[in-house]
Amino acid sequence: MEIKEGKDLLKDVRVEASKKETEVLLKSFAEDKPVADKIRSLKLSRAQVKENIGLVAAYKDDVDYCAHCPGLAACHKETPFYQSDLILKDGLLSRTYGPCELYMHEQTILGAYVYRDFPDEWLDLTPAILSNSDRVIKVLIAFNKANGNKQNPWVYMTGEIGSGRSYLAAAFSNGCALQGQRVAFMNANKRFDELKGLAVENKKVFDARLQELQAVSLLVIDDFGSEYKSDYVRDQIVMPLLTERAKRNLMTVFLSDYQPEEIETLYATTRSGAIMAKKLVGLIQSKIGGVTVVQKGVETL
């Protein structure tokens, strides 16, 4: 019997180990449905898979990672936000890359917003993934009833602090953004003050920004009533903004800690200003079907 030298024996051991590893990988491909489906769709033979085993294994790792996606912020792939694919051209197998669905979803939403004053974590929200609780259904009914309603296209929403008004409105806003609508989700305190500054520093930019807000398909004014109240803010920013949107019957959502009557009191900065404050609230009340009160739910705890 031939006795092999140490080097030859080690070589044989490595070959056997490599064969076993190959078989283990081939079995894992067959048991992984997305990978097996891809191999079948490309009509790859067993020999072709073995010949490109490293390529297919890398594709499998990529598919597995994305199947348990940790979210865009926590994506630690070599090519973050991109998914790989296998293509067969002229008998040669190769990998291609393209942006993942979640990334495309986020980019579509981001591109639709003029202002987006809510956390990045809410970009994944849409009405479809919200719970079916009574409170959520009530809010979505209010939004959907106003959407496209020529008589009452506005929504006025109040509720306790922490009731989730902004969260639910962000989900509805994202849904509109995904449909290709132009959306502004603005914090009243931050943005009205910003507009007031622009009116003084750069009137041209102020006019352009105001016109943009007057024309967006959906305007959400969060924390309405928290903004600094003055005759100028009321008469040169809020009233022109809302009056134009009322003329165009464009959907406008107010999220507020205050009832409309309290907004009138807050904006009655002077005796003469009380007349304009009454006119402002009268405009709002003429365009809403009523006040929607959001109750706290388990989702907000």
End position of a domain, from candidates 37, 71, 99: 99
Residues 251 and 140 in one domain: yes
Residues 6+ apart with CB under 8 A from 139: 157, 165, 168, 292, 294
Structure confidence at residue 10 (pLDDT): 46
Residues 187 and 268 in one domain: yes
Half-sphere exposure of 266 (CA within 13 A, CB side): 18
- Asked if residue 213 belongs to a domain, the reply is yes
- Asked if residue 165 belongs to a domain, the reply is yes
Structure confidence at residue 18 (pLDDT): 72
- Asked if residue 57 belongs to a domain, the reply is yes
Residues 192 and 247 in one domain: yes
Residues 170 and 242 in one domain: yes
Residues 6+ apart with CB under 8 A from 49: 26, 29, 39, 56
Residues 93 and 217 in one domain: no
- Asked if residue 13 belongs to a domain, the reply is yes
Which domain range does residue 261 map to? Answer: 105-300
Contact 263, 226 (CB under 8 A): no
Q: How many domains does the chain have?
A: 2
- Asked if residue 196 belongs to a domain, the reply is yes
Half-sphere exposure of 101 (CA within 13 A, CB side): 4
On the 0-12 / 13-18 / 19+ scale of CB atoms within 10 A, 127 is middle
pLDDT digits (tens, 9 = 90+) for 54-83: 889 888 899 898 888 888 778 888 888 888
Closest CA to 181 of 117, 246, 108: 108
Residues 114 and 86 in one domain: no
Written as six digits, the tokens of 78 are 């070599």
* Residues forming a β-bridge with 219: 184, 252
C-alpha 18, offset from chain centre = 46
Residues 94 and 135 in one domain: no
**Per-residue CA distances from 127 to 63, 172, 205 (Å):** 27, 6, 34
Contact 223, 185 (CB under 8 A): no
- Asked if residue 89 belongs to a domain, the reply is yes
The Cα 189–Cα 227 span in angstroms is 4
End position of a domain, from candidates 75, 99, 123: 99
Residues 6+ apart with CB under 8 A from 68: none
Contact 192, 224 (CB under 8 A): no
Structure confidence at residue 5 (pLDDT): 54
Residues 125 and 266 in one domain: yes
CATH number at residue 228: 3.40.50.300
Residues 91 and 165 in one domain: no
Residue 256 phi, psi dihedral angles, 5° rounding? -145, 150
Output the 3-class SS for 85-141: EEEEECCEEEEEEEECHHHHHHHHHHHHEEEECCCHHHHHCCHHHCCCCHHHHHHHH
Residues 113 and 86 in one domain: no
Structure confidence at residue 66 (pLDDT): 87
- Asked if residue 1 belongs to a domain, the reply is no
- Asked if residue 77 belongs to a domain, the reply is yes
Residue 103 phi, psi dihedral angles, 5° rounding? -65, -45
By three-state DSSP, how is residue 297 classified? coil
Residues 200 and 283 in one domain: yes
- Ranges of residues in the chain whose predicted pLDDT is under 70: 1-17, 298-301
End position of a domain, from candidates 82, 99, 116: 99
Residues 47 and 132 in one domain: no
